[in-house]
Amino acid sequence: MLTHSEATIFMAHRFNAPALGISGHNPQNLRHILAQLRRRRYELISIAELFRRLRNGEELKRAVAFTIDDGYSDAGLVAAPIFAEFDCPLTVFAVTDFLDGQMWFWMDKIAYIFTQTKRRELSARLGNEQFQFSLESGAGRAGWRALVDRCYRAPKADRLACIKELSRTAEVELPSQPPESFRALTWDEARALENRGVTFGPHTVTHPILSALPAEESEREIAGSWRHLRSQLSNPVPVFCYPGGRSHDFSEREVAVMTRTGLWGAVTGEPGNLRSGLSRDATDQWYRLPRYLYQDTLTGVLQCVSGIERIKTQLRGASAS
């Protein structure tokens, strides 16, 4: 079970806003979960405070920190006001070109094509693989998620070619700017959120998998996002968030860049709780902090913060070996 020297970080992405066509976590569930965490006397802290305690070698106690990745508009429209209701700090990890209006995410383009096409079937080619998707009986969502999973593992050139061909065969033209349901926060909105206590951290310039890039590009993605964030906001937190977040999505190369850049550390997408005393053992681990995917149920969240989920993961690993 969780001890008084451990903490938990959660990561979320999208929050429901039906009027804008946004599907994600249920706002009412979030309210209930935050209320229960307060009632059960978990300490809701910011990423900055978590790192301050790490750097000072202080106990983390029953601390819980919440983060939202990417910088979609619903982070400000839906999530931030709810976190504020419960005086819960929130950090948004922002993709700077996204907030600049220079891009929208390739996975959102796939989702847009699947939802906008009038075709009943779609075909897609990814490298040497050919896929067929039936869109009958509401199967479109499962189809685009399956294709997104495949594209994550594909080279960038193959992924871009796949989306281009998919757009053509689906007879769906992709707009140059993301539709409202996929848009980012504007920098003005981000500054307004910052004035209300939300903090922002760097999440690269364009959201690539860093380990797949040449060294110079990887450094530009890390240092460039941090530099641009500081130029736009008053007090961004010097904690990085890896796109993808899996252990093979980054390496010692990226850790070295962050050390040179002056970033305190980084969060991953690998599940787990965080132990006090980490700073005394190995500061290198500051750049590999685990996060649980935020679950839309109180039971799921409590299993993470209590340490039950960690034990279940360990048992699953033991039985598989």
CA 210, CA 238: separation in Å to the nearest integer? 18
CA 73, CA 90: separation in Å to the nearest integer? 15
Q: β-strand 6-12 against 274-275: which pairing, if any?
A: antiparallel
Residue 282 confidence (pLDDT) = 56
Residue 51 · residue 264 · CB < 8 Å:
yes
Collapse the DSSP code of 142 into the 3-class scheme (helix H, G, I; strand E, B; otherwise coil) and give the result.
helix
Residue 283 confidence (pLDDT) = 65
Degrees (nearest 5) of the Cα angle 290, 295, 298? 115
Instruction: Provide the CATH number for the domain formed by 6-101+183-320 in this structure.
Output: 3.20.20.370
Residue 3 confidence (pLDDT) = 46
Q: pLDDT digit of tens for each residue in the chain (321 aa)? A: 444 468 999 999 999 999 888 989 999 999 999 999 999 999 999 999 999 998 888 888 899 999 999 999 999 999 999 999 999 999 999 999 999 999 999 999 999 999 899 998 888 899 998 988 888 766 556 777 888 888 887 888 999 999 999 999 999 999 999 999 999 999 999 999 999 999 999 999 999 999 999 999 999 999 999 999 999 999 999 999 999 999 999 999 999 999 999 999 999 999 999 876 654 455 678 999 999 999 899 999 999 999 888 777 666 555 554
Beta bridge partners of 121: 134
Residue 284 confidence (pLDDT) = 79
Collapse the DSSP code of 76 into the 3-class scheme (helix H, G, I; strand E, B; otherwise coil) and give the result.
helix
Residue 5 confidence (pLDDT) = 60
Domain boundaries, the chain: 6-101+183-320, 106-170
